[in-house]
Structure 1
Amino acid sequence: MTVVDDRVIELFERLEVPEGYKAELLRGEIVMMAGPDWVHNVIVQAVADQIPADRWHRLQTQDIAIPGEASEPEPDLVVHERGAFEGPGRLVPAPALTLVVEVVSRTSVDRDYRVKRSMYAAGRIPAYLLIDPLAGRCVLFTEPAGEGEAADYRVERTTKFGEPMPVDVLGVSLETVEFRTLT
């Protein structure tokens, strides 16, 4: 990491975020956004409720550390097997994670589809589930490959809201019937 990166990380870690907002560090840039809306929160909760708690930690508002990246994203939901990481600390290391979930908003489309997809692949997170209430679909990315900004997932599976979304890395099939759109 460069000196500039270290200063940005230090600034980010001391940043006081106004109530109702959240901030993420994405490839050296501090991104601030308004808090999520009702549709977003209901979708995240519906996903978390379908992942067995006896085997998996399902955490919201959890920052993650991605090795080799000047990034500390806060996915909408992080999932890791019990025992893979026991803390302490603010950051869960990406290698401990099995799945990250992002729910697209009108202002996060590019970040979620492009920037975070590449970051999570660079962190070797086995699965990235992108839920898009603007398009009414779920996209599951698996098999991360590559390094840095060139990293990507080799496999992409898309289902429409209302159809089950198999998430093999967790051994579940998510029901999406109750997912609402933002249109």
Structure 2
Amino acid sequence: MTAVDDQRMTEFFESLAAPEGVKVELLRGEIVMMAGPDVVHNLIVLFIARQIPPDRWYPLQTQDVAIPGESSEPQPDLVVVAPEALPEGSGRLLPVQAVSLLVEVVSKTSKVRDYVTKRSIYAAGGVPAYLIVDPFEAKCTLLTEPFGGGDQADYRTARTSKFAEPVPLDGLGVTLDTAEFGTLP
């Protein structure tokens, strides 16, 4: 895509009126629509958000993230930011520079996007920590140390933990308890 095509796609995406209950994201120039999440998914997000100390961090849901150099406006399941990093008047799009951790909970239709596409997008944006929670595999994968750009961007470090094992989120000074995370067949 050219810069003009990227701009047109972004403008079209931002003017799109999605039906109620449908999540819409722009991922590398592709508009992706998904049905609302199931209860297991929502409870995992809730259990993670409750473990983030609100005096030091804001766990935000349904927050779109702006990633410069990418024709993407993802809406992670959970965005964690330090209160002092929130820019005034940022509106719908939170600048990726303010993000400390992004969380995605895998659904039946999002596996490739969460493990491949968003991994690359978030690494290209310099997101310091990306946590993938997979209720189908009953595991969490914490990715840190982003490097590279574009489609080739990735994370140098990947730490995988099974559900019920603690997940240290060193950048937040939190150890995540995953014992309550539900699984899906």
| TM-score normalised over the length of structure 1 | 0.98
Partner of 1:135, secondary structure, is coil
Which of 95, 105, 108 lines up with 2:107 in the alignment? Answer: 105
- Which whole-Å deviations, capped at 9, do the CAs of 1:97-117 have from their partners, x for residues lacking one? 000000000100000000000
Aligned to 2:158, what secondary structure does the other structure show? strand
In the TM superposition, 1:24-103 aligns within 5 A as 24-88=25-89, 89-103=91-105
Please tell me the residue identity of whatever aligns with 2:43.
Answer: V
Q: Distance in 2 between matches of 1:57 and 1:86?
A: 13
Return the TM-score normalized by structure 2.
Answer: 0.97
Unaligned ranges ≥5, structure 2? none
Does residue 140 of structure 2 align to residue 143 of structure 1?
no
Q: Secondary structure at the match of 1:9?
A: helix
Q: 1-side partners of 2:182 and 2:86: how far apart?
A: 33
Quick check: 1:153 aligned with 2:158? no
Structure 1 portions without partners, runs of 5+? none
Give me the identity figure in percent. Answer: 62
CA distance in structure 1 between the partners assigned to 2:145 and 2:109 by the alignment? 27
Cα deviation, residue 124, structure 1 = 0.3
Which amino acid counterpart does residue 166 of structure 2 have in structure 1? P
Give the letter aligned to residue 95 of structure 2. P
Distance in 2 separating the partners of 1:95 and 1:125: 7
Give 1:57 shift: 1.0
Shift in Å, 1:128: 0.0
Q: Distance in 2 between matches of 1:124 and 1:58?
A: 19
Q: Distance in 1 between matches of 2:34 and 2:155?
A: 26
Task: Render the CA deviation track for 1:121-173: whole Å, top value 9, x for unaligned.
Answer: 00001000000001000000000000111000000000000111111010010
Match of 2:136 among 131, 134, 149: 134
